[in-house]
Structure 1
Amino acid sequence: MTTSAPRVLVLTQEFDPTVDPVVTTLAERGAEVVRADLSYFPRRMTVTTSDFGTTRRTLRLRDRDGDGVREIDLDRLSSVWYRRPTGFDFGPDMAEPEKQFARREAMQGVGGVLRATNCLWVNRPDVDAVGELKPYQLELAKRLGLRVPRTLLTNDPAELAALLADADRPIAYKAFTGGVIHYPGAFPAGLLTTVVGEEIHEHLDRVGHTMCMFQEYVDKAYEVRLTVMGNTYFPVTIESQERDTTRVDWRGESAEMPYGPYRPLPEEVVKKTQALLTELGAVYAALDFIVTPAGEYVFLEVNPMGQFMWMQHDMDLPLGDHLADLLMKGGPFARGEVTQVGY
């Protein structure tokens, strides 16, 4: 942490419209911002840590034309925003066996040096990796007292057949990873959460191809997309039951989202959410809840790197400003009293 201007390292891919407004805000507020992608390593990025002579940890970035070099003292960072960087790029001349070795070495070396940086991370990549494990999220949420849908996780077709035979509720299939499939030469296609029909019995064998998640379908009054930045909560109501396209999965709406009025989270839900994020070690997260007709909150999932800029545009919420505040303040971070922001 510096006593002068905060220094923020943003690790993300070159095209990331979520990052651009936040970087602009940081610069306007006097922060020194360094934006880089891990694909710059090793050809445009060098990482060095040394105990010989003066102890130092540095990251150097070369301009595309190779003329300019920028050096970052990793010990002077206030914070790191780990958004969505792409992987290391070893160039076309290295053979694949050597690339595999170099990639493993880079994961250990670069990952280890960055992990040792003593500053605020939003979020550390190891935190994101654990936080994205949906079965782990569900078990944590249950242990902390949140209601979650009854869930079957399996790659055994017989297990699903037995569930369908005895189910007292409709059953929905949900992908663990957001369901994006990218076929060559086509736009990425997403698998939305789907209530399974009778046709599932003809395709039970497909369950055997990989791990699958099936959940009881929970009746909804509306849904809540909660964005958490530090101890600031932005709960946004989605009236998903107003349209057929959003009734099962609100991501099915590609036009105007059916937002509802601001409804702050009940204190008990806030308390349990804080406990969940403490367990996960997440500073930033986007969470999804169902609210039943009886008013009960049902936890669906945590997205440690969930998008938020679409809500800033749609709802005029100051999400980018609050994230900039968090990054400029730096660490250490501790969960504490929550402020809920309405609209």
Structure 2
Amino acid sequence: MTHADPTVLIVTQDFDPTADPVVVSLRERGADIVRVDLSYFPQRLSLTVSDFGEERRQLRHRDRVVDLDAVAGVWYRRPTAFEFDAAMGEAEAQFARSEALHGVGGILRATDCLWVNRPDLDGTAELKPYHMKVAKRLGFRTPRTLMTNDPDEVAALIAGFDGRIVYKALTGGVVHYPGAFPGGLLTAIVGDEIGEHLGRVRHTICTFQEYIPKAYEIRLTVIGNTFFPVVISSQNEDSTSVDWRGAEKLPYGPYGPLPDEVAKNVQALMAELGLVYGAIDFIVTPDGEYVFLEVNPNGQFIWMQHDLGLAMSDCLAELLMAGQPFRRGDVTQIGY
């Protein structure tokens, strides 16, 4: 379906600097933009589905009524949780939350348009043990990995492995301490101190991987069938040699497109995971081998747009305005 003035629904929190440039790109192209957060529900946002008489599937926010069946694209970005009336008791709030998850989730899922990304597929794809297994099956090399909450397994790995081991978080590694800014856990090489702290492994799933020698790294942003591979010369500085997220300013390298075989495998991975958008991290070894680390279905990208002048917001805006479910096709790689 093609819309003269396509409606694009953006579901994200109020403060989202990544969404703002995309909103600008959409406006420049004449899109009708509806931006809401799930925290508006149920007090400031209502959803209605009815097949009594005239069939209706509507979203209402302030004075705006949106026909969900006329939406061209949904960008399910980073919404926050429902906010219920503080006067509700805990039992009633739990019931309301459960009803909202089923009701709101079901109504949105039944919206047949282009999704970036559909939240059910997003949630599955971000499970690293799962997407790593899919990547290996599709032909990618991945680091040898131990995931466990058994301290004895870690002790045996450290004792028997001839090489360096890193610890990394399965999620973003963000720790929220009361009254403080969130702190992040970067990937770190495991040292002798692990022997004193092995008991802590019992608290949760911990991930240990072989350290892969690097020539450089690649952050690949996939927006539909458009690939934006960005080279990060992480070995040029000590602060980025293990985890480039620790840099104040990233050491970018010269642009280089992905080899055809790697691009083909990325398309296969995105298709199997059902993703339209994804941020994928690779190590490139001194021998030129690509090693897959992970795919983030909702990874950030605006910092690369600003630093390198990449037209990522424009690309995403055009995709959201397309007005039909996405189909994978030929890849276009964009340089800088």
**TM-score normalised per structure 2:** 0.99
Structure 1 distance, partners of 2:327, 2:9, is: 21
Pick aligned residue for 1:270 from 238, 258, 263: 263
Partner of 1:47: 47
Q: Give 1:168 shift.
A: 1.7
Aligned pair 1:285/2:278, yes or no?
Answer: yes
Give unmatched runs, 5+ long, in structure 2. none
Aligned pair 1:215/2:209, yes or no?
Answer: yes
Structure 1 distance, partners of 2:321, 2:114, is: 9
> Residue deviations 1:26-54, cap 9 Å, x none?
11211100000000100011101011101
Partner of 1:19: 19
Partner of 2:160: 166
Partner of 1:191: 185
Structure 2 distance, partners of 1:311, 1:286, is: 12
Partner of 2:321: 328
Structure 2 distance, partners of 1:309, 1:330, is: 24
Partner of 1:132: 126
Give unmatched runs, 5+ long, in structure 1. 63-68
Could you tell me the percent identity over the aligned residues? Answer: 66
Matches within 5 A, 1:274-313: 274-313=267-306
Letter in 1 for 2:299: G
Letter in 1 for 2:323: G
Query: What CA RMSD, in Å, does the superposition of the two structures yield over aligned residues?
Result: 0.7
The answer on whether the counterparts of 2:3 and 2:323 sit within 8 Å (CA) in structure 1 is no
Pick aligned residue for 2:147 from 117, 142, 153: 153
> Residue deviations 1:95-152, cap 9 Å, x none?
1111111111000000000000010000011111001100001100110000000000
The answer on whether the counterparts of 2:21 and 2:313 sit within 8 Å (CA) in structure 1 is yes
Structure 1 distance, partners of 2:264, 2:285, is: 19
The answer on whether the counterparts of 2:3 and 2:72 sit within 8 Å (CA) in structure 1 is no
Letter in 2 for 1:335: R
Structure 2 distance, partners of 1:239, 1:172, is: 19
Letter in 2 for 1:274: Q
Q: Give 1:3 shift.
A: 3.2
**TM-score normalised per structure 1:** 0.97
Letter in 2 for 1:37: D
Letter in 2 for 1:295: G
Q: Give 1:210 shift.
A: 0.3
Letter in 1 for 2:193: E
Letter in 2 for 1:123: N
Letter in 2 for 1:272: N
Say which SS state the counterpart of residue 209 (structure 2) adopts. Answer: strand
Q: Give 1:2 shift.
A: 4.7
